[in-house]
Structure formats: C-alpha cells, structure tokens
Structure 1
C-alpha cells in the first residue's frame, strides 16, 4: 500500500506516493503524471526527499508534458471539465449515479461513477469504449490485412501498459491496445500495419521497417505521437 507524502518546493507542495519494499536502493518513477517512490524500510525521509529535490526540475518537466498530452481527465476540480478523447475528438465526460449503463449521448460520455479510485473509473471507461468501438479495430485490421495480402486468425483488444500492439506469428494472433482509441485513426492504422508486418518479418530489422514504410510512408510521425506521455 502506498503512503501519500508531500514536500515543499518553491511555495507549493509536491505530492508523491511512497511504497516500502524489500530492496536495496531508493527508486523514483513518474507514472501517469504522479511521482512514485519505492524504498527499503531502513531508508530515511531525508534521503527520499534529497533524491526528489535532486531531480525536481526534470520531474516537473515530465509531469507538465504528461498533463499537456492527457487523453482522459476525470475528477477535475469543480471549475474544470472532465473529458475523454475518442479517435482524437474531445468528448465531455460526466460521472453519474443515474444512468444504468455507461453511454454516449449527444457527443457526451456518461460514465457510471465507481465508488473507488480514479484508476477504477478509467478501467470502467476503457471497458465501455472497447465494447462500443471494437468493430472499428476489426474493420481496420481486415482492411489492412487485405491490402497487405496477409491473413490473421484472431484479434484481441485489451488495455496494456507497455505495448501498443503484439503479434504472434506462429498463431497469427494480433493484440491491440484499447488505449489506441484515443488517437487519430491513422495512429491505430500504423500499429495495425506494424503488427501485420511481423507476420512477414519477426523482428525489427531494416527489412521490417521498409515493409512498414511501404504501406505508411509517414509512419515515423505516428511513432512520435505514441511516444508522448499522457495515458
């Protein structure tokens, strides 16, 4: 369980989560715009804070970039608006206790509020978006499989942390990250082309990238978009 801690910096309070683990060193990470510290039980507060202060400028830069590129905002302060990007289009998002099911009405997403955390609400939102738009993923995958003269046997759409897509050439299974729904359709198409290309080239050799470029000459632009933090 994480302990929520704060330390002062330039007149503001910097929040961070501290997790005590069986490890030798203090480790600092930024995840979803939040500072995460894991440390051994014998670590002193001053050691942890010294590590944060040492990297504070870089930490603030990473956090600011994360917030500039966010695709989902839930539980903002009252004067802000919650939202979610669906295929790069911004939809107002409203938490509600009144709707039986999560739904989209008049270009606004109504999300049945979870009594738990922000992460639980995001999980519920992704589950809804997956159900509503999975056919779009399949249509685009079929389109590019036909264009590239390739075939696959199975498509799975699921939320992943470190991968936008996966290809299993032996079984011809393709896995796509639900979070791709937040981007422009061409970004999703890039990932589809990328994974289909692995049916031909099983690694990231030059020949593989030439194959990707053949079908999407500007694929590097899509790669840069996917590198942006915020999801």
Structure 2
C-alpha cells in the first residue's frame, strides 16, 4: 500500500485490531490488519500515524552504518561482534581467510583479483562460519523451548534478521548475523523458534521470550543499534 511517498507492507491476519510497526535497519513500515477492515480504513489509520512513523524511521536512519566496502587492506570488518582490520594478501594458491592475533582478517586472494572477487571470498567465509555455529545453537534452544525445526538456512536479507515458515518449520537467518555478538545470534534463533509456539508478536509471544531468554529485549535493542 502507498500513502503519499510512503510504502507500507500490508498483511491481513485473523486478528481483532490494526497493528503498526516500523522495522530496522531501514525503517520498513508494516501494518497487520484484520480481514474485515477495508483499504480506506487502513489508509486513514496510516495517515493518522505518519508523525509516529517518521519519528521512528528517523531513529533508524540515524543509526551507524558501515560505509561501502572496497575490500582493501586497512578497512574495518566485523566478526562475531569484534572489529578487525582487513589485510589483503595476494598469492598464487587457493583463496582463504585467516583470523590473526584477534586484530586482523587476512584475506588471501589470487593475483589480479578484483573487488567483487575479494568480496565473494570473504562472504563465502562468513557464510561457512555462520553455518558452522547454527546447528548446535538450534539444538540447544529446541531443547529449552520444546520445539523442533525441519530445516534452516542462511541468506542475505535487507530488512529482517530472521524469518520462520511455521507450516514448514523452517527458519532463515540473515548472513549479517555472523558479524554480530553471539548472544544477538542466539536471540534471533530464539525469536524464530518461539514463532513455532506463537505466530504473532503479541503479549503471549513476549511472555514466551521472557520465559526462555529473560534479557531478550536488551539483545534486540543492541542488535538494532549495531552497524549494519
């Protein structure tokens, strides 16, 4: 739905009231609506909340963002919540990535590698590292929460840290989570697993989150304030 120059994700659900939310990292606007509410009512509701929407979008826009990466020596890159300096090393062997002295990410690439190739090597390494961490964390929290997944995956997502397909019992996790502290990764995993108990983000969902991860709201705030 469009309200002026504002794009709104509209989702119709079996709920009683309209729910408005603004999501990181770029201020995506979402309205959940009961099936019976017509478009014009939703549009007027959105217009009445424009001030609140703009205020919250401004907060996200003011948050720190990494400048575009060129994948050259001296750049800052993040891994599991820590900042590292990239050190590009050209050699004749297969590309690889090595963490050195808790200070450097040594990126070994072939001679003549262009920016896109250097980026791909680091991205592949990030993906491999995240996928290595996920299975034990999912298994841990499945036992705590009392649910089970059928599948999980990692992909790049622009507006969400994770998603859950409740019917398929499949969760997706944002590749960017490998750059964040581990408790932030665990928060997202718990969030998505709890959706297997409660579809919506209402009081029941929050009660489950507080039961299984008492500090979840602090982790959420920390995650949304970190550079994306």
CA offsets 1:180-222 (integer angstroms, 9 cap, x no match): 1111111111101100000111111110111111111111111
| 1:66 correspondence with 2:59 | no
Q: Residues 142 and 148 of structure 2 are in contact (CA less than 8 Å); yes or no, is this contact kept in structure 1?
A: yes
Aligned to 1:191: 188
Q: Any unmatched runs of 5+ in structure 1? A: 1-23, 26-31, 34-58
Aligned to 1:91: 84
Q: TM-score, normalised by structure 2?
A: 0.63
Q: TM-score, normalised by structure 1?
A: 0.62
CA 1:101/1:122 → structure 2, altered by over 3 Å: closer, same or farther?
closer
Instruction: Find the residue that maps to 2:64 and give its secondary structure.
Output: helix
Instruction: Find the residue that maps to 2:227 and give its secondary structure.
Output: coil
Choose from 119, 125, 132 the match for 1:128: 125
Choose from 94, 100, 108 the match for 1:106: 100
Mapped to 2, the partners of 1:199 and 1:121 lie a distance apart of 38
Instruction: For 1:17-166, list aligned pairs within 5 A.
Output: 62=61, 65-67=63-65, 70=66, 74=70, 81-98=74-91, 100-107=94-101, 108-111=104-107, 112=109, 114-116=113-115, 121-166=118-163
Aligned to 2:20: none
Aligned-residue CA RMSD (Å): 3.3
